């Protein structure tokens, strides 16, 4: 079955922005929490596939309302969400995305912050409701591959963990005609993706970072701008690497996508200070954990699509 043309998904609370027609037989859906998660996490992989002609969609659960933005950057924008939406669409064009789909939830902030309690916060929503939105996207886009966060959400962000749970549930539900039948009545036929992946840094990489920070006299359990990221736990919780994507040829394009997220520092200030060869080496690969079908060992995969892929 060919991918459908752009659906009106407003009935499911989704602001779907289709940037180009979907014409490829290969389709991937990334589901993350905030504007910038796609670029800081998997810009290289997204570019690897969009450059090769695949349709790649990004479902963004929130608009990053709780992110820190310098006041001077808000000039001309109604609020943080408006600014970060513009940044997201800039990155989407740099990445060649087929569509960006905002789920309309509010950024919950880091664990223990007041934003956690906002009634519109993502983590305050019923899991089945958000999973249903992702089911609608899966049925509309008909991706063979779905990618989201692992169980710990990379570094423990509540929204990342919620996205993991909702997307995993949606992956299991999308092909079941007894679940979300109102979508089927509206023309969204059941669709079962072939593969589910979690993005990961892998335990070896994060453990190395922890060691280096300790050697430098820094506390790896208090990483980040606000000291609220525990890299020790992140290393412990990281899912194993089963799949490695070569992203070396996409380095400059990935940097341009990250630069679109200017209110978040562009994600590249520290990177630009490193020697160019080291910059490229650090961005040469991106790692994933294959969850479905289950990984049974063997050689590391080099492609998100199966070797015998057929649409």
Tens of pLDDT along the chain (311 residues)? Answer: 344 556 889 999 999 999 988 679 999 999 999 999 999 989 999 999 999 999 999 999 999 999 889 999 999 999 999 999 999 999 999 999 999 999 999 999 988 999 999 999 999 999 999 999 999 999 999 999 999 999 999 888 999 999 999 999 999 999 999 999 999 999 999 999 999 999 998 676 667 777 877 887 888 777 766 666 777 888 888 899 999 999 999 999 999 999 999 998 754 454 566 677 777 777 789 999 999 999 988 899 999 999 888 77
CA distances to 127, 142, 168, 193, 305 from 311, in Å: 30, 10, 22, 11, 10
| Exposure string for 28-46, b = 16+ CB within 10 A, e = fewer | bbbbbbbbbbbbbbbbbbb
Question: Of all residues in the chain, what percent carry a pLDDT higher than 70?
Answer: 91
DSSP-based three-state secondary structure for 297:
coil
CA dihedral angle for residue 292, residue 121, residue 41, residue 112, rounded to 10 degrees:
-100
Looking at domain 10-202+240-292, its CATH superfamily turns out to be LmbE-like (3.40.50.10320)
The model's pLDDT over 228-276, given as tens digits with 9 standing for 90+, comes to 677 788 888 889 999 999 999 999 999 999 999 999 875 445 456 667 7
DSSP 8-class letter at 115: G
DSSP-based three-state secondary structure for 146:
strand
Residue limits of CATH 3.40.50.10320 in the chain: 10-202+240-292
Phi-psi region of 286 (alpha: psi -120 to 50; beta: other; left: phi over 0): beta
The model's pLDDT over 82-125, given as tens digits with 9 standing for 90+, comes to 999 999 999 999 999 999 999 999 999 988 999 999 999 999 99
DSSP-based three-state secondary structure for 61:
strand
């Amino acid at each position: 079955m060919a991918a459908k043309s752009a659906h009106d998904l407003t009935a499911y609370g989704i602001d779907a922005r289709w940037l180009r027609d979907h014409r490829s037989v290969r389709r991937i859906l990334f589901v993350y929490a905030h504007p910038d998660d796609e670029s800081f996490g998997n810009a290289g992989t997204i570019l690897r596939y969009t450059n090769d002609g695949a349709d790649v969609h990004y479902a963004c659960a929130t608009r990053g309302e709780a992110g820190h933005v310098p006041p001077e950057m808000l000039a001309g924008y109604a609020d943080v969400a408006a600014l970060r939406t513009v940044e997201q669409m800039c990155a989407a064009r740099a990445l060649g995305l087929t569509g960006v789909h905002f789920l309309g939830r509010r950024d919950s902030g880091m664990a223990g912050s007041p934003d956690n309690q906002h009634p519109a916060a993502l983590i305050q929503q019923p899991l089945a409701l958000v999973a249903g939105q992702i089911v609608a996207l899966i049925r509309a886009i008909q991706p063979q591959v779905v990618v989201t966060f692992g169980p710990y959400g990379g570094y423990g962000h509540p929204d990342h963990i919620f996205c993991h749970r909702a997307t995993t549930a949606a992956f299991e539900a999308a092909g079941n005609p007894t679940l979300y039948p109102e979508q089927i009545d509206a023309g969204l036929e059941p669709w079962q993706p072939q593969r589910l992946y979690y993005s990961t840094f892998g335990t070896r990489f994060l453990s190395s970072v922890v060691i280096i920070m300790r050697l430098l006299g820094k506390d790896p359990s208090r990483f980040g701008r606000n000291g609220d990221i525990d890299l020790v736990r992140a290393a412990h919780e990281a899912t194993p690497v089963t799949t490695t994507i070569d992203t070396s040829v996409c380095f400059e394009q990935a940097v341009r996508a990250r630069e679109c997220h200017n209110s978040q520092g562009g994600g590249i200030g520290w990177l630009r200070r490193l020697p160019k060869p080291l910059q490229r080496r650090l961005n040469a690969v991106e790692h994933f954990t294959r969850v479905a079908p289950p990984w049974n060992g063997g050689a590391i995969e080099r492609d998100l699509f199966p070797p015998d892929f057929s649409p």
